[in-house]
Structure 1
Amino acid sequence: MRMVDLIEKKREGEILSKEEIGFIIGNYVQGVIPEYQMSAWAMAVYFRGMSLDETADLTLAMAQSGDQLDLSALGGRFVDKHSTGGVGDKTTLLLGPMVAACGVPVAKMSGRGLGHTGGTIDKLSAVPGFRVELNQEEFLAQVKKIGLSVIAQTGNLVPADKKLYALRDVTATVSSVPLIASSVMSKKIAAGAQGIVLDVKYGSGAFMKTLEEARVLAKTMVGIGKELGRQTIAVLSNMNQPLGRAVGNSLEILEVADALQGKGPIDLMEVSLELGAWMLVAGQVVSDVEKGKEKLRASLTSGAAWNKFLSFLSEQGGDAQAVAGRHLKIAPWNLPILAHDSGFVQEFDAHKIGILAMTLGAGRATKESSIDLGTGVVLAKKAGEWVEAGEPILQLYGSSKETLAEGLMLANRLVSVGNEAPELPPLIEEVIQ
């Protein structure tokens, strides 16, 4: 078997066998197949696509390229959740304690962010003392003890994906549905999930800009899950404006704390309850979504989810009382952006808000960039809400006057009000399973 023949085969639109895909991934990870040949193959996939069987075979080959987590010894049915990315998306931090409090254990590996804002691990790093890295024994022991642990991905989890993604990033082949789908699903399979709930976002702040693009990706990932024997559910949600009001790592942790105590923004709670309910369905503790939502709401009103969150933080070395007392590090400089006129806020483009947050220090422009955990943006008003002239619409948090001045130039272009309330699309568009 020669790589050049397999490149040609895919270039001509032919179907690769499971053995051929295994040959490609195995030899690429071992360094036998050079980058230039893998680049050619990725471009062939980009233009010719892959069948569902091919994509499932690619997913499994990548999942098997490194460590795989076996959760069977813990008992119970484990359900993982993945978001395709957005601005202000802190749902994992809400869902973990809520779902665990309802009897479905959550053992999750998450990543850091590259781009607008920090990832889940960056947000957790804003909690003083919190350990984002546990060894496998510590990780499993914590899940067994309290039903919840969220850690940084291990270095050898799906090495094929790390290597291939870095290559795709510099060869203009990132936006290939089979390559995106296999990248996401390989990590979920390797992490031991029996059920997988996907939050597939579309809109200005999402990777997939249109509903149709998101639908194609969702159907592909659900198809992969079925092929590999994993119950997979995809929820298509709107990301044209940020989710919740806080964008920035410490700021988002505080918003999660509010939400778990019943004071969460309406949009954040709607998406979280939808995703969490499907996690409970996949975890086989409820028979339908509405019963799942009832159970999740009960975990909030009883305080069980909040207490689970505090236990989770403490078990991983975090200062839970700093979170409970709202004593996280917040940037020392802040600046309100005021409305010049009274009216309805017209829109808050999620992508532009994300760029603003990154400019203030809340995200990474490159892999080498560092995050200033206390910086970010709070949306005092959201699209569709009424604002009086002179009232704050945005609040900027920066580590210096210079940073705030740069943020101010961007923020002023984002604020617009009008006499008519804008027509907003539904937050949850559809569910595919």
Structure 2
Amino acid sequence: MVKMHKIIGFAPSLLQIVMNNQVEVPVRQSGGIYLKNMVAHSWRDPTYNLKHTPGKVMPFHIHEQDCAVLRDTIVDAASIISKKAAEGLRALVLDVKYGSGAFMKEFDEARDTAQLLVNTSKGMGISTAALVTNMDSPIGRAVGNALEVAESIACLRGEGAPDLVELGCRQMATALHDGSALDKFQQMLESQGVSQQSARQLCRGDPWSVLTKADHVESVPATATGYVSNIDAMTVAQVCLSLGAGRRKAADTVDHRVGVTLAVRPGERVQAGQAWAQRKEEDRDESLRLPGAASNKSR
């Protein structure tokens, strides 16, 4: 089973499973994630043979035949949309990011990608719209897996950070205020195999009775008094990666407990020595102090 992905025709067959409405949602979503990772890490490099060192074992690459099939039937947009389609959606609102903390740095590139995503989704019968929003600073106050889940649930309850609530309201104002968005999220959790009790506790009770917390919390003090002019999203993301919130390579394990929470937002005043952020970590690491992540203007 471990080597099944090496069989010629495996990747196109997996794509067919992901796009099949008759297959159960959890299976299709898992297939979509597996296919995305397979393409990301094993797509054939046409120059690899020129760079390969004789005597070393060549890593697995998707067969040229499968690459041709995938290239003809799926683009990056379809890889993204397929995971959405696997949930059986009839309508979809996308948030496409650009800026220092996003994969796309420029607005024009994000706008073109958003249009491609919308066209692809509509071609699959899903009514779709897209927002293009800036990611120079983190959205909300939480960065990290479990931390962002908890903050998203707070937002669905109408208790989120103002900028996160504003983004949500632009997408689904009525559903956010009348509780139907939270009901739908609970339904989605249950459809993906989360027990009814856990889903209800996450959405209606204390999320941290289901989510796991990091053992250590380290405050990050401001070095000067003034107004926060910027919090660099990429620097915060890199610290979270070093804490274990993401992967540097495919084999890495993700620690869902760790991350960063922000006590202030751009435009807010902070005193020297006041905690402007907190690191949630498993082992204290004095080297991860968010150097240069925040800048302020003294007033």
TM-score (norm 1): 0.52
The equivalent residue for 1:407 is 288
| Partner Cα separation in structure 1 for residue 113 and residue 13 of structure 2 | 18
| 1:31 aligns to 2:8 (yes or no) | yes
| Partner Cα separation in structure 2 for residue 310 and residue 266 of structure 1 | 23
Q: 1:368 to 1:211 in 2, by over 3 A?
A: same
CA contact (8 A) 1:248 1:374 kept: yes
Residue 238 of structure 1, aligned match among 131, 134, 137: 134
Q: SS in structure 2 opposite 1:416?
A: strand
| 1:66 aligns to 2:17 (yes or no) | yes
Structure 1 residue runs of 5 or longer lacking an equivalent are: 1-27, 36-60, 72-134, 140-150, 278-292, 421-433
Amino acid at match of 1:265: A
Q: Which has the higher contact order (CA 8 A, sep 6+)?
A: 1
Shift of 1:418: 0.8
| Partner Cα separation in structure 1 for residue 115 and residue 158 of structure 2 | 34
Identity of aligned residues (%): 29
| Partner Cα separation in structure 2 for residue 32 and residue 169 of structure 1 | 15
Shift of 1:63: 8.9
Q: 1:329 to 1:196 in 2, by over 3 A?
A: closer
Q: SS in structure 1 opposite 2:253?
A: coil
| Partner Cα separation in structure 2 for residue 180 and residue 197 of structure 1 | 18
Shift of 1:415: 3.0
**Structure 1, 162-171 or 252-261: larger mean CA deviation:** 162-171
The equivalent residue for 2:116 is 220
CA contact (8 A) 1:332 1:399 kept: yes
| Partner Cα separation in structure 2 for residue 210 and residue 185 of structure 1 | 22
| Partner Cα separation in structure 1 for residue 267 and residue 296 of structure 2 | 9
TM-score (norm 2): 0.72
Shift of 1:203: 0.9
Alignment of 1:127-206 (within 5 A): 136=24, 151=26, 153-157=28-32, 163-168=38-43, 179-189=75-85, 192-206=88-102
Shift of 1:245: 0.4
| 1:298 aligns to 2:178 (yes or no) | yes
Q: SS in structure 2 opposite 1:337?
A: strand
CA contact (8 A) 2:111 2:132 kept: yes
Residue 150 of structure 2, aligned match among 254, 272, 279: 254
| Partner Cα separation in structure 2 for residue 350 and residue 269 of structure 1 | 18
Q: 1:353 to 1:153 in 2, by over 3 A?
A: farther
Q: SS in structure 2 opposite 1:255?
A: helix
Q: SS in structure 1 opposite 2:231?
A: coil
| 1:372 aligns to 2:247 (yes or no) | no
Aligned CA RMSD, in angstroms, stands at 3.7
Q: Note the alpha carbon deviations across 1:388-427, whole angstroms, 9 max, x for none.
A: 22211111111112xx31312xx1322321137xxxxxxx
| Partner Cα separation in structure 1 for residue 16 and residue 107 of structure 2 | 32
| Partner Cα separation in structure 1 for residue 122 and residue 212 of structure 2 | 44
Q: Note the alpha carbon deviations across 1:1-50, whole angstroms, 9 max, x for none.
A: xxxxxxxxxxxxxxxxxxxxxxxxxxx996279x9xxxxxxxxxxxxxxx
Shift of 1:357: 0.9
| 1:416 aligns to 2:295 (yes or no) | yes
Shift of 1:355: 0.8
Shift of 1:365: 1.7
| Partner Cα separation in structure 2 for residue 398 and residue 237 of structure 1 | 29
Shift of 1:153: 4.8
Amino acid at match of 2:16: S
Number of matched residues? Answer: 263
Q: 1:256 to 1:171 in 2, by over 3 A?
A: farther
Structure 2 residue runs of 5 or longer lacking an equivalent are: 48-70
CA contact (8 A) 1:222 1:232 kept: yes
Shift of 1:265: 0.2
| 1:316 aligns to 2:194 (yes or no) | yes
Residue 267 of structure 2, aligned match among 361, 379, 384: 384
CA contact (8 A) 2:15 2:31 kept: no
Q: 1:311 to 1:219 in 2, by over 3 A?
A: closer
| Partner Cα separation in structure 2 for residue 331 and residue 223 of structure 1 | 41
